[in-house]
């Protein structure tokens, strides 16, 4: 039986290795970039490259790119106050094109920044009001999640990843730019790129559409512990931690629904083990 054709909108830090993985699984994969100079890199991943730009207007062969069965959307919103308007405009253009395309299943890469800090574990039902998200990017993502999920010409599954780690996203790199680590007692919500790719692969393989999933590693180390371990593993000076009597609001992200639906076991369940490693 021939496998589905998959297009990946956004071949960046996550999208490019995902394309390589899916190609290795036997899927025919197309990948988009905004820069033609990345074409050779995308081809090296066994993927057909397309230049697609969603701005004031669509640039590129959008119809050819969307001539697929499944679309993975991995284009994060900006971090400024215009994030909502800009991202809504991008996804509106995308939806208009999707309705006219053969795509019938969409996987939207979102973020746990859609959740407010509720001082407890949050589940998928806790993100209902974009104005309560913890950043402009979180508000933008929640708006466009709803836009995609409300369409009936295709089914959308949303995966809300926590903070991305692994490979060149080593915590020691961030430490070198920090004067001090703020909110050292806050729990962290993190996920390794290997798990992101494996989770997306499992959703596609099992055909789990029309769902919303959190995806965050099992263990939630405190910022104090995580950055201390990272500094020690890289031979860096011990980090300086901010001393504040006021405890910042927090959240921990639970992935129980994802684990149950996919039968998934995290490849990197403990971010402290990642912090100790040298990748």
Q: What are the pLDDT digits (tens) for 10-61?
A: 999 999 999 999 999 999 999 999 999 999 999 999 999 999 999 878 899 9
Q: What are the pLDDT digits (tens) for 177-203?
A: 888 999 999 999 999 999 999 999 999
* Phi, psi (degrees; rounded to nearest 5) at 183: 50, 60
| Mean predicted lDDT score pLDDT of the chain | 94
Q: Where are the domains of the chain?
A: 76-165+191-218+252-267
What's the rounded mean pLDDT across residues 167-180? 84
User: CATH 3.40.1280.10: does it fit domain 76-165+191-218+252-267?
Assistant: no
What's the rounded mean pLDDT across residues 122-148? 93
Q: What pLDDT score does 243 carry?
A: 82
């Amino acid at each position: 039986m021939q496998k589905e054709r998959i297009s990946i909108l956004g071949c960046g830090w996550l999208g490019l290795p995902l394309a390589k993985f899916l190609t290795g699984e036997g899927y025919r994969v197309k990948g988009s970039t905004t820069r033609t100079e990345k074409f050779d890199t995308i081809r090296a991943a066994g993927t057909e490259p397309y230049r697609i730009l969603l701005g004031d207007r669509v640039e590129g062969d959008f119809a050819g790119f969307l001539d697929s069965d499944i679309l993975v959307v991995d284009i994060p919103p900006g971090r400024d106050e215009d994030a909502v308007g800009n991202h809504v405009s991008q996804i509106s253009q995308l939806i208009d094109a999707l309705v006219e395309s053969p795509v019938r299943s969409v996987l939207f890469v979102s973020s746990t920044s859609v959740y407010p800090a509720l001082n407890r574990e949050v589940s998928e039902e806790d993100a209902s009001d974009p104005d309560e998200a913890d950043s402009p990017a979180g508000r933008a993502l929640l708006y466009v999640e709803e836009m995609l999920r409300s369409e009936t010409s295709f089914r959308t599954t949303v995966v809300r990843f926590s903070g991305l780690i692994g490979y060149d996203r080593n915590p020691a790199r961030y430490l070198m730019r920090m004067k001090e680590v703020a909110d050292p007692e806050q729990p962290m919500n993190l996920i390794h790129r290997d798990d992101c790719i494996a989770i997306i692969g499992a959703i596609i393989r099992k055909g789990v559409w029309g769902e919303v999933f959190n995806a965050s590693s099992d263990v939630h180390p405190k910022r104090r512990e995580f950055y201390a371990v990272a500094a020690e593993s890289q031979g860096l000076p011990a980090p300086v931690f901010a001393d504040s009597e006021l405890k910042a609001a927090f959240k921990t992200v639970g992935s129980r629904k994802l684990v149950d639906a996919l039968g998934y076991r995290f490849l990197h369940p403990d971010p402290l083990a990642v912090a100790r490693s040298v990748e």
